């Protein structure tokens, strides 16, 4: 029996089979969910000049006691008003440039007006710079606005636009074929007889890839025979990643590895020291990176979280492509582990993290109730309730 590969090594070997996908210039409205391919420096200062954060009156701080004579109006989008002289104020609105000489804004709720004479009614008198957004207080021209490998979230896109960008250099997203195999599989919603099972993993894994791929191609419910499996895999050779589900283990009908070899694919590793997810296999078929996930739903989910999603993020250009671990206190005592790292389906809340009693990787009821995978390193001792453990949010 081949040795079980530690997970971290498997993750590194998997990405070393892959390359970052080509870079293209993308209109900003189409860049959501991609990864930035270069550092981008701000083209402008933000704000570009001192501006008001409130509707009110712009004043010179030295005149803070008032009253003031109102000599003009400054609104967002207007050229700057003429400079204020001693004892003068200008009506100002949020987002408007401050007139020359002004350095403070008094909110309109804090004054009373009598014609063009404006007096303070609220105490205390304003502090210098109150309600003013200073030039460059958000960022300055030349500052790095977003760094290479950043995930382009809605907020990151907004930041890029305000920094002066209308298009961005970003990596392509990988095209992924999701191939499920098993004579027992029936399509979602169809009646499953007792020897059959609805093909739940296909929908689940495709959903995990939502937004991360260029194309997710479903090649579902391929029969357990070499010719059918080879034909399906062959038809997916144009995809960047081919992920198979089921048939990854050692049974007589587990044909994924033999089918890859028949097609000329090369296997890199087969079997990882983790539970669930031991029978995971990886390799290459032409230019495609191949990842074979086990069929048990819990195993398919855990191995997709720990291997497939990092691979997809890596190819798409992510700086940080591995899952993030957080820590919490276990509410129960956890038994020692053996030679495989464990990822226990668990619930985390403000009290701590609680692993479910049943960890059968075939149970979707347990997986669907979980919001975390509690990580137990291989060969660890019993962990007493109250001890700190690491987990991945799901
Ligand atoms: N002698 C051994 N037997 C097994 C080993 C082993 O090391 N030695 N490993 C076990 C482990 S661990 C796992 S996990 C399973 C995974 O095996 P396969 O990847 O070959 O999966 P299948 O046998 O095809 O299916 C397992 C289970 O999952 C159901 N399944 C499969 N595909 C889907 C799908 N698309 N949607 C829903 N459910 C699916 C399938 O019907 C089976 O019930 O092997 C152990 N055996
Ligand atoms: O480790 Mo399998 O992946 O038990 O379910």
pLDDT value of position 261: 94
165 shares a domain with 185: no
- 390 contact partners, CB below 8 Å, separation of at least 6: 325, 326, 327, 374, 375
Nearest CA to ligand 2 atom 1: 276
pLDDT value of position 52: 97
pLDDT value of position 306: 98
Q: Which long-range contacts (CB under 8 A, 24 or more apart) does 63-66 make?
A: 63/87, 63/88, 64/104, 64/125, 64/126, 65/120, 65/125, 66/111, 66/118, 66/119, 66/120
DSSP assignments along 108-146, one per residue: GGGEEEETTEEEE-SSSPPPTTTTEE-TTSSB-TTSEEE
Question: What span, in angstroms and rounded, lies between the C-alpha atoms of 228 and 224?
Answer: 7
- 100 contact partners, CB below 8 Å, separation of at least 6: 80, 82, 83, 84
Question: What span, in angstroms and rounded, lies between the C-alpha atoms of 166 and 27?
Answer: 6
From 295, 315, 335, the end of a domain falls on: 315
Mutational pocket test of ligand 2: of 5, 245, 278, the residue with most ligand atoms within 8 Å of the beta carbon: 278
146 shares a domain with 129: no
Query: How much is the ipTM here?
Result: 0.96
Q: Does the residue 1 lie in any domain?
A: no
211 shares a domain with 164: no
Question: What span, in angstroms and rounded, lies between the C-alpha atoms of 337 and 353?
Answer: 18
pLDDT value of position 80: 87
**Total domain count, the chain:** 4
CATH number at residue 339: 2.40.340.10
From 286, 315, 344, the end of a domain falls on: 315
CATH number at residue 108: 2.170.190.11
Q: Does the residue 321 lie in any domain?
A: no
227 shares a domain with 217: yes
Cα radius of gyration rounded to whole Å, the chain = 30
255 shares a domain with 204: yes
298 shares a domain with 199: yes
What 8-state DSSP symbol labels residue 324? P
- The domain in which residue 366 lies consists of 326-393
Q: Does the residue 320 lie in any domain?
A: no
Mutational pocket test of ligand 2: of 251, 279, 281, 343, the residue with most ligand atoms within 8 Å of the beta carbon: 279
Q: Compute how many other C-beta atoms are within 10 angstroms of the C-beta atom of residue 356.
A: 17
335 shares a domain with 244: no
Q: How many angstroms separate the alpha carbon of residue 328 from the centre of ligand 1?
A: 31
What 8-state DSSP symbol labels residue 49? S
155 shares a domain with 128: no
The CA dihedral of 391, 203, 216, 233, to the nearest 10 degrees, is 100
129: left (phi over 0), alpha (psi -120 to 50) or beta: left
How far the first Cα of the chain sits from its last, in Å, is: 32
Q: What is the pLDDT of residues 183-240, one digit of tens each?
A: 999 999 999 999 999 999 999 999 999 999 999 999 999 999 999 999 999 999 999 9
266 shares a domain with 308: yes
Q: Which residues of the chain have pLDDT under 50?
A: 1
Question: What span, in angstroms and rounded, lies between the C-alpha atoms of 189 and 187?
Answer: 6
Residues with CB under 6 Å of ligand 1 are 180, 182, 184-185, 197, 199-202, 245-251, 254, 276, 278-279, 294-297, 299, 361
185 shares a domain with 298: yes
DSSP assignments along 292-320, one per residue: EEPSSHHHHHHHIIIIIHHHHHHHTT-S-
Question: What span, in angstroms and rounded, lies between the C-alpha atoms of 321 and 104?
Answer: 46
What 8-state DSSP symbol labels residue 264? T
Evaluate whether 110 touches 121 at the Cβ level (below 8 Å).
yes
Q: Does the residue 189 lie in any domain?
A: yes
Evaluate whether 206 touches 218 at the Cβ level (below 8 Å).
yes
pLDDT value of position 3: 77
Q: How many angstroms separate the alpha carbon of residue 281 from the centre of ligand 1?
A: 13
Residues with CB under 6 Å of ligand 2 are 275-278, 294, 296, 299, 361
120 shares a domain with 58: yes
104 shares a domain with 177: no
From 133, 163, 192, the end of a domain falls on: 133
Degrees to nearest 5, angle at CA 64 with 60 and 68: 75
Q: Does the residue 108 lie in any domain?
A: yes
pLDDT value of position 125: 77
Mutational pocket test of ligand 2: of 275, 293, 340, the residue with most ligand atoms within 8 Å of the beta carbon: 275
Q: How many angstroms separate the alpha carbon of residue 332 from the centre of ligand 1?
A: 29
Q: What is the pLDDT of residues 129-167, one digit of tens each?
A: 999 999 999 999 999 999 999 999 999 999 999 999 999
pTM for the full predicted model: 0.93
Evaluate whether 300 touches 291 at the Cβ level (below 8 Å).
no
Q: Does the residue 307 lie in any domain?
A: yes
CATH number at residue 35: 3.90.105.10
Q: What is the pLDDT of residues 77-94, one digit of tens each?
A: 999 889 999 999 999 999
CATH number at residue 198: 3.40.980.10
What the block records as the tokens of 15 is: 């990405």
């Amino acid at each position: 029996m081949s040795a079980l590969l530690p997970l971290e090594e498997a993750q590194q070997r998997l990405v070393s089979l892959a390359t970052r996908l080509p870079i293209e210039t993308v209109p900003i409205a189409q860049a959501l969910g991609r990864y930035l391919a270069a550092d981008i420096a701000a083209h402008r200062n933000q704000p570009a000049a001192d501006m008001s954060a409130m509707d009110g009156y712009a004043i010179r701080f030295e005149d803070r006691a008032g009253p003031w004579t109102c000599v003009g109006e400054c609104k967002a989008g207007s050229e700057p008003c003429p400079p204020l002289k001693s004892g003068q104020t200008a009506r100002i609105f949020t987002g408007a440039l401050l007139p020359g000489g002004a350095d403070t804004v008094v909110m309109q709720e804090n004054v009373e007006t009598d014609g063009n004479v404006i007096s303070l009614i609220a105490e205390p008198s304003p502090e210098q710079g109150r309600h003013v957004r200073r030039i460059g207080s958000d960022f300055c021209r030349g500052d790095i606005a977003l760094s290479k490998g950043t995930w382009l979230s809605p907020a990151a896109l907004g930041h890029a636009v305000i920094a002066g960008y209308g298009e961005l250099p970003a990596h392509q997203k990988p095209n992924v074929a999701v191939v499920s195999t098993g004579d027992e599989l029936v399509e979602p919603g169809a009646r499953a007889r007792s020897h059959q099972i609805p093909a739940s993993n296909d929908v689940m894994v495709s959903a995990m890839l939502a937004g991360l791929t260029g194309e997710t191609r479903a090649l579902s419910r391929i029969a357990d025979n070499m010719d059918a499996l080879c034909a399906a895999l062959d038809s997916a050779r144009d995809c960047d990643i081919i992920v198979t589900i089921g048939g990854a283990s050692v049974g007589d009908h587990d044909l994924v590895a033999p089918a890859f070899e028949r097609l000329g694919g090369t296997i890199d590793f087969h079997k990882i020291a983790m539970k669930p997810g031991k029978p995971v296999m990886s390799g290459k078929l032409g230019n495609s990176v191949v990842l074979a996930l086990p069929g048990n739903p819990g195993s398919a989910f855990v191995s997709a979280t720990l291997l497939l999603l990092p691979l997809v993020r890596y190819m798409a250009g992510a700086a940080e492509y591995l899952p993030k671990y957080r820590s919490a206190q276990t509410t129960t005592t956890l038994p020692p582990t053996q030679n495989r790292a464990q990822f226990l389906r668990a619930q985390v809340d403000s009290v701590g993290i609680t692993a479910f009693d049943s960890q059968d990787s075939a149970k979707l009821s347990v997986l669907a109730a979980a919001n975390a995978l509690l990580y137990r390193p291989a060969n660890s001792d019993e962990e007493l309730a109250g001890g700190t453990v690491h987990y991945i949010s799901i």
